[in-house]
Amino acid sequence: MISFEFLDLILFLGISQGVFLAITIQFLHQKNKTANTILSLILLTAVTMLLGRMIYFRFLTLSLFRWTVLIDVVIFIFGPLCYMYLRRLAFSKSDYFKLSWIHYLPAVAHILFFLYGMSFSLDVYKEKISSVTFNISFFIIEGGGILSNFYYWYLNTNLIRRYKKEEKNSVSYKQNLVSFLLVFQIAVGVFLTAWFISFISSKLFGYSMYPIGYDALWVGISIFIFVVGYYSLKEPKLFRIPLQKEKPNRQKRLQEDQINFLEKGLKDAIEEEKMFLKPNLTLRDLSERLDTSTHNISWYLNTIKGSNFYDYVNHYRIKEFLQKVENNEHQDHTILAISMDVGFNSKSTFNKAFKLEMNDTPSNYIKGLPVV
């Protein structure tokens, strides 16, 4: 009789929570619907992997082993799905972005290998799995899975880098989801590196790094994916930006009268109307106010002002903060409260902006003021 152990509880909870999240995310009422469809698929692949590991750890027979080979096809699906999710989530005009069929050829090859194994009787299959041919096949499958996941990990890391590069030209506030996605990439990178080292150690040198290995690492990755699912419930929105070319054209695109128009419009909107007080101000908001394109404003700020939208807006927020301090408002309110009043949405964002502008911390700056 098979006893119930703590590992079974972990795997069962992971499977049930994965199914719950995959369904719940589809009912979120926000703009990331198509991205969350991919996220649900990623969650279901994680559930499939956990289910396969439960079978492998607790109920493994030769017959079920053949089916776990099929379940392992998810290692070739995980990378492409993550890439599609990030493209749909972070970049505009990518709502229905899909990868070409070429990206799924490794998964198809894996399924064909599974069907090949299923064509044998159990007795013949038992002999085959210990043969040189099958050992080489399993080596290629796992090695290919590692290379595939590293490839898409690199693509995703590059997407996040490009997003962060353009983010400051589009929004004036800190987006927690971007930081979270970066942490997720780092964690997956650690998992993949550990998997690679374990693979080399066991396959080439015959040294097991237990408990670090294929099974444990994919359980870890799967459970970590659920963290992404829960976080998407809390922070479902990400401001989407165009996927810019690596080397944008900086040649003069505006005439002098257009430049003068933007200069006056920005002065009215930012200095007079104080649009910077809006915590979630975006470049799109400003372009609608000035009745011009986001590209024109971005070009003007980058080329004429030598700044990006994020730093440009925060410059005025810091000026407003200094004005309030000059009016002694810091004696009745906390520094954090005043920073929120001038448009910042987090303490860390304010501190970084203040340090960049004043080369000092807010508290030190206030302490250095003459006592009135």
Using one digit for the tens of pLDDT, what is the confidence trace for 217-236? Answer: 777 777 778 777 777 777 65
Residue 283 and residue 294 in contact, taking contact as beta carbons nearer than 8 Å: yes
Q: How confident is the model at residue 22 (pLDDT cuts 50, 70, 90)?
A: confident
Q: How confident is the model at residue 255 (pLDDT cuts 50, 70, 90)?
A: confident
Using one digit for the tens of pLDDT, what is the confidence trace for 82-97? Answer: 999 999 988 988 888 9
| 253 against 51, higher pLDDT | 51
Q: How confident is the model at residue 53 (pLDDT cuts 50, 70, 90)?
A: confident
Q: How confident is the model at residue 179 (pLDDT cuts 50, 70, 90)?
A: confident
Assess whether pLDDT exceeds 70 at residue 252: no
pLDDT value at residue 229: 78
Q: How confident is the model at residue 59 (pLDDT cuts 50, 70, 90)?
A: confident
Mean pLDDT of 40-45: 89
Token pair listed for 211 = 């408990």
Assess whether pLDDT exceeds 50 at residue 317: yes
Other CB atoms closer than 10 Å to residue 49's CB: what's the count?
26
Token pair listed for 345 = 């949405």
pLDDT value at residue 246: 55
Q: How confident is the model at residue 213 (pLDDT cuts 50, 70, 90)?
A: confident
Token pair listed for 47 = 């559930």
pLDDT value at residue 139: 92
Nearest to 311 by CA among 164, 162, 171: 171
pLDDT value at residue 1: 40
Find the Cα–Cα–Cα–Cα dihedral 303, 306, 311, 317, rounded to 10°: -100
Mean pLDDT of 130-159: 92
Cα separation values, 262 from 103, 275, 284, 311, Å: 45, 15, 14, 17
Q: How confident is the model at residue 2 (pLDDT cuts 50, 70, 90)?
A: very low
Mean pLDDT of 1-23: 70
| 126 against 315, higher pLDDT | 315
Assess whether pLDDT exceeds 60 at residue 132: yes
Highest-confidence segment of 12-16, 87-91, 220-224, 245-249: 87-91
Residue with tokens 């080399």: 200
Assess whether pLDDT exceeds 90 at residue 112: yes
Rounded Cα–Cα distance for residues 178 and 171 (Å): 12
- Coarse DSSP helix, strand, coil percentages of the chain, rounded to the nearest 5 percent: 75, 0, 25
Assess whether pLDDT exceeds 60 at residue 247: no
Assess whether pLDDT exceeds 80 at residue 8: no
